[in-house]
Structure formats: C-alpha cells, structure tokens
Chains A and B, each alone.
Chain A
Amino acid sequence: MARSSSKDAQDLFRALWSAYAATPTNLKIIDLYVIFAVFTAAIQVVYMALVGSFPFNSFLSGVLSCVGTAVLAVCLRIQVNKENKEFKDLAPERAFADFVLCNLVLHLVIMNFLG
C-alpha cells in the first residue's frame, strides 16, 4: 500500500514535471518572477519573526509589495496564457498594459507607505 502510494506520488511528480516542461517560456518567466516574489515575502516574514514587528508599516508594505507583485504576475499569467479560453478576446498587449498600470499603482502606494 505504502509502496504503491509512493510510486503513485512519483508518477504524479513526473507527470507534473513533464506537464510543466511543456509550458511556454514567457509563462515560465512569469513563474520565476512569482517564485522570486513569494520567496522575498517569506524571507521578510522570517525576519519579522526574529526581529519583531516594530516598523510595522515597513513590514506590511514590504510583504504586501511582494504579495501584490506575485498576485499581479499570476493575473498576467492567466491573461496571456493562450490556452485559456476565457481571455481570447483580450490582446496580450492590453493585458500587459493593464499589468503595468496596476504595478505602477501598487508601487506608488508602497512608496507612500514604506517610510
């Protein structure tokens, strides 16, 4: 039982991996970007746990900037993904412009809130 399940798991990961390998490069880049953002957020949370939450606004803006970046990147990924039928009529250029706008707003707010 245990062996079969572990084998299943192996199959699963293999399938996952192969599926992912077929992802277009631009999506992979986005994924990389998301991972980078989430990783930065995690580091900050750990740091906060060690040091304490004194400049809470800085912590909040730091973490939320990462989370926000990640979320926006995921949104972009959803939109530019050609296989996603929901967004067929949405041009990737338009999606990217929206993404840039959203990011600008985000970073403006972050700058405001950081200090």
Chain B
Amino acid sequence: MSKLIFVFLALIPLLCTSFSPDRPSDRRVLVLVDDFAVKSSHSLFFNSLKSRGFDLHFHLADDPKIALQRYGQYLYDALILFSPTIERFGGSVDAAAILDFVDSGHDLIVAADSNASDLIREIATECGVDFDEDPAAMVVDHSGYAVSATEGDHTLIASDDFIKSDVILGSKKIEAPVLFHGIGHSLNPTNSLVLKALSASPSAFSANPKSKLTSPPSLTGSSISLVSVIQARNNARILISGSLSMFSNRFFRSGVQKAGSPTKHEKSGNEQFFTELSKWVFHERGHLKAVNVQHHKVGEANEPSIYRINDNLEYSVEVYEWSGTSWEPYVADDVQVQFYMMSPYVLKTLSTDGKGRYFTSFKVPDVYGVFQFKVEYEKLGYTSLSLSKQIPVRPFRHNEYERFIPAAYPYYGAAFSMMAGFFIFTVVHLYHKCVTFLNPAFGGFLWAMF
C-alpha cells in the first residue's frame, strides 16, 4: 500500500497541489510545535506524511512570522498543532483564525497533553471536544494499563477500543492496542459531528494521579474519549488527541502488553492507527463526490425543465470516492433519492451498476408544485453528500385531459343531434314559412289573445 502511494507521489509535481475539488487530498501542511525537538522525536509520524507526498512546514508556535493566509489566500491546506502548552500563537494566528481556517474547509490535527493550555482547550471546545477541566488530570486506568518495566501510576494506557469504521481506520484490522498517555475528553452525545476514534475502557477515569482522589472524577469509563475525529458540515476534518506523546517515535516503536492480556505485541498499534487516521483526516479516504445528476422522462434523453403530474421519470447520479490517487466508483446499496416538496413524496433506494452510476425510475406523484430531487447521503466516515435539484411539476394542460370518454358518448350524441336538428329545423322552417306566407289565413285566431 505505502509503496503504491510512493509511486504515485513521484508522479505528482510538488507545487501544483493546492486543495481542489478534483484532488481533495491536502498537500501543504503547516506544523506548529512547541520546540523543534518534536520534529525529531516524532519523526516517524512526519516521515509517513512526507512519504505520502505532503509538504510539511515546521514552525515554532510562537514564531511571530507565521501566518495562515496571505492576501486572502490560505497558504496551507492543513494544520497540525503539536504545541499543547502554547498560550498564544505568534504572528496573526489565534484561535479564531484557526477556526476560520477550518470553516473554510481545511483540516486540522490537534494534540493536547496533560498540561494543555487554555488556547488549545478553547480550540478543542469550539470543535465540540471538552477536555477535562482539571488541568492536572490525566486518564488513569487501573485495569487497562500497559504493562511496563516500572510499575507506574497506570497513566500509560493500552486501549484497543477503536471506532468501528473501515473508512476511518482502514480495512486492515489494528491488532495491537494503542498506547496513550495524556488527558481525556468528553463529547456531547447529541453532537452528531464528532466521533470517538479511540475511547477509554470502562474502568478508566480522569483524575490527577499525583493527588489522592477526594471527590468522584468528573469523567469516567468509556465516556472518556482519548482520540476524537470531527467532520464539520463543510467536510473539513479534525483530529483531536489528548496526548502528544502518542505520535512520538517512542510510542510508535515500543512493544505493548495490555494488563491482563497474555499476548505481548512487538510493536504498538500507534503507527498503524495514526497512519490510517491521518489518511482519513487528510481526505485520502472517505471523500465522496457526486456528479452528473441526470433526470428525464422514461424513453427520452433530454432533461425537461418541468414535469407533469403522473409522468414516469428516470433519475441517475454518479458517485465516486477519492482513493488518494484517483476517483474510484463508490459502491453501496443504501443511496436514496427523495422527491421532495416540504416532505418526501417519493423515497427510492438507488440501484448501482458498480461503476459509480446510481439510477432509479419512479412516477411523479399526483401533486403539482415545486419539487426537489434530493440525495442526502450521510454515512459514518464519509463526507456527506447533499444534492438537491429543483424541478417544478405542473398539472395537466388543458388539452392533456382525456378527450373522448366512452361514458360521455350519449352527451356527444345529444349535442350533435341538436346540431343536426338545428339544420333540419332551419330547412323545414324556411320551407314552411313560404307555405304560411302563401296561406296567411292559416294562422290560428286564438293566438290573438296571447
């Protein structure tokens, strides 16, 4: 897999790589660190990014020269904040600037740590992640800790409670648990945008390991999230981790044995976990696009500007997924289209031909109005597709109703017989008028009284 990517990389010229709808993967990444030691201590992670073609720019977080945008253009496609203790960024960067960066569709990786600054916490909160308010608190797990040489305070946790999504974590199962050392956070369960990528075990809790537990910890059990991912409504992706050391070479390389588990893994799952996760965050996976929406009447090829009630129509759309190198057909059996006017009148599951084309046909309901073809596709880990196309539906024209109804034949007959009668009457009347003129005395005298 990585070789393939490498081959692909060689093909890509380095500078032509800004984020575009055609190539959704990020290219230019700004990495802000507390000190440059991180660059070497986390080199494995950075190298894996570099090897996938990312152009990393390292800066100290308080470097006065850093800027996210110049002349209204963003200089980077993604941002990695490996500076958990920073109180204020240098240059023009602040929390609002970073959030604007995300809101304009760019990706973000944030690593906090046990002494995370308010700034980092604020950014996380804005994204829907609430770190434990106690600044000294860490996630402690007395049963799910990683077995190590020194019997510590069980803040080094081995967790294997991953999110169940092939899209986010790749199709290859992560065998080894992931090592974690840092602070936990909680998510609002009603928040539909944020997902726990890695959660703590039920026995975990968040507290200051140095002091004695006086009151029940505010965060406990599997509600603690260790690593979360967020997909914003504009499909910008964010990764927030409670631990910076997770990304470090030391954690990537070290072996791991979960307490109570007989198997000892030579290598922790961290590398695989973050490689796959970064692929997702940087849009190398799970990014869908829908193109070529077509609809027309059955038996016709051209798209009409208006439908008539009870028309039969065909609808098709093509959906592709970005594989990191090219757009591949997306295959699923749960894409649905709605024919919508205030509420869906028709809801149909689209069938696919396996080459990315989805299609169906249905009958326009017997209601006129301004309808919409709506495809609202939101699947865990995938970017959401929201297509809507407005199309009016008109009633029958005046000449489109049934013309000659058998039940009405007597009426037609009557009307035509009246017409025929009129002609005959005209003839007869004119003829008889001559007769009466010839014979005026014929008129009845009784009428005089009328």
**Interface residues of A, Cβ cutoff 8 Å to B:** 19, 22-26, 29-30, 33, 36-37, 40-41, 43-44, 47, 51-52, 54-55, 58-59, 61-63, 65-66, 69, 73, 81-84, 92, 96, 100, 103, 107, 110-111, 114-115
Judge whether B411 is part of the interface by a CB distance below 8 angstroms. Answer: yes
Closest partner residue, chain B, to A68 (CB atom)? B418
Interface residue B433 (Cβ < 8 Å from any Cβ of A): yes
Residues of A within 8 Å of B450, CB to CB, are: 81, 83-84
On whether A59 and B411 interact (CB within 8 A), knowing A29-B432, A115-B404, the answer reads yes
Q: Which 10 A-B pairs have the closest CB atoms?
A: A83-B447, A62-B411, A22-B444, A58-B408, A55-B408, A58-B411, A62-B414, A26-B432, A83-B448, A65-B415
Which partner residue on chain B sits nearest A69 by CB separation? Answer: B418
| A84-B447, A100-B426, A115-B403 as given contacts; A40 in contact with B414, CB under 8 Å | yes
Picked from A23, A43, A107, A111, the residue with its CB within 8 Å of the CB of B414 is: A43
B411 in contact with A61 (CB, 8 Å): yes
Most buried by B among A62, A69, A82, A107: A62
Interchain Cβ contacts under 8 Å between A and B, 14 examples: A24-B443, A25-B436, A26-B429, A29-B429, A40-B418, A43-B410, A44-B410, A54-B408, A55-B408, A59-B408, A62-B411, A65-B418, A69-B422, A107-B415
Within 8 A of A (CB), among B396-447: 403-405, 407-408, 410-412, 414-415, 417-419, 421-422, 425-426, 428-430, 432-433, 435-436, 440, 442-447
**Minimum Cβ distance to chain A for residue B406 (Å):** 10
A59: nearest chain-B partner, CB-CB: B411
Q: Point out which of A25, A52, A61, A111 has the most chain B C-beta atoms below 10 A from its C-beta.
A: A25
Contact (Cβ within 8 A) B417 A55 = no
Provide the main secondary structure of the chain A interface.
Answer: helix
Kindly state the separation between the CA atoms of A81 and B433 in the bound complex, as whole angstroms: 12
A99 vs chain B, min Cβ distance (A): 9
Contacts A30-B429, A40-B418, A61-B415 given; indicate if A25 touches B410 (C-beta within 8 A).
no
Q: How far is the CA of A54 from the CA of B408 in the complex (A)?
A: 8
Complex Cα–Cα for A61 and B426 (A)? 22
For A30, the chain B residues whose CB sits under 8 A away are 425, 429
Residues of B within 8 A of A107 (CB): 415, 418-419, 422
Closest to B436 in A: A26
B431 to chain A, nearest CB (A): 9
* Contact yes or no, A47 B410, CB < 8 A: yes
Known: A29-B432, A55-B408, A92-B433. A66 touches B445 (CB 8 A): no
Q: Known interface pairs A26-B432, A69-B422, A82-B447. Does A54 touch B410 (Cβ–Cβ under 8 Å)?
A: no
CB-defined interface of B236-269 with A at 8 Å, one 1/0 digit per residue?
A: 0000000000000000000000000000000000
Specify which chain A residues have a CB less than 8 angstroms from the CB of B414 in the assembled complex: 40-41, 43-44, 62-63, 65-66
The total number of A-B Cβ pairs within 8 Å is: 108
Report the separation of the CA atoms of residues A23 and B435 in the bound assembly, to the nearest whole angstrom. 14
Chain B residues with CB under 8 Å of chain A are: 403-405, 407-408, 410-412, 414-415, 417-419, 421-422, 425-426, 428-430, 432-433, 435-436, 440, 442-450
Give the residue among B411, B412, B436 with the most A Cβ atoms within 10 A: B411
Contact yes or no, B432 A19, CB < 8 A: no
Q: Whole-angstrom distance between the alpha carbons of A61 and B436 in the complex?
A: 34
Q: Which residue of B lies closest to A107 (CB)?
A: B419
Q: Is B425 in contact with A83, judged by CB distance below 8 angstroms?
A: no
Q: What are the residues of chain A within 8 A of B408 when measuring CB–CB?
A: 54-55, 58-59, 62
The residues of B that contact A40 with a CB separation of less than 8 Å are: 414, 417-418
Inter-chain pairs besides A29-B432, A44-B411, A84-B450, 17 sampled, C-beta below 8 Å: A24-B436, A25-B432, A25-B436, A29-B428, A29-B429, A30-B429, A44-B410, A52-B407, A58-B405, A62-B408, A62-B410, A63-B414, A69-B418, A82-B443, A92-B433, A107-B418, A110-B415
- When distances are taken between beta carbons in the complex, the residues of chain A under 8 Å from B404 are 115
Q: Which of chain B's residues have a CB closer than 8 A to the CB of A24? A: 436, 442-444
Partner of A81, one of B411, B428, B440, B447: B447
Looking at the complex, which one of A25, A37, A55 makes contact with B418 (CB distance below 8 Å)? A37
Which chain A residues lie closer than 8 Å to B429 at the CB level? 26, 29-30, 96
Q: How far is the CA of A103 from the CA of B418 in the complex (A)?
A: 10
On chain A, the residues within 8 Å of B449 by CB distance are 83
**B416 shortest CB reach to chain A, Å:** 9
Bound Cα distance A23, B444 (Å): 5
CA distance A38 to B85 in the complex (A): 101
The contact of A22 among B418, B422, B426, B446, by CB within 8 Å, is B446
User: With the chains together, A55 CA to B444 CA distance in Å?
Assistant: 45
Minimum distance in angstroms from A38 CB to a CB of chain B: 11
Chain A: CB-nearest residue to B415? A65
Alpha-carbon separation in the docked complex, A54 to B409 (Å):
12
By beta carbon, the residue of chain B nearest A28 is: B432
Among A29, A43, A58, A69, contact of B412 (Cβ-Cβ < 8 Å): A58
Task: Tell me, in angstroms, the Cα distance from A48 to B157 when the chains sit together.
Answer: 86
Residues from chain B with a CB closer than 8 A to the CB of A59 are: 408, 411
- Docked complex Cα distance between A52 and B449 (Å): 45
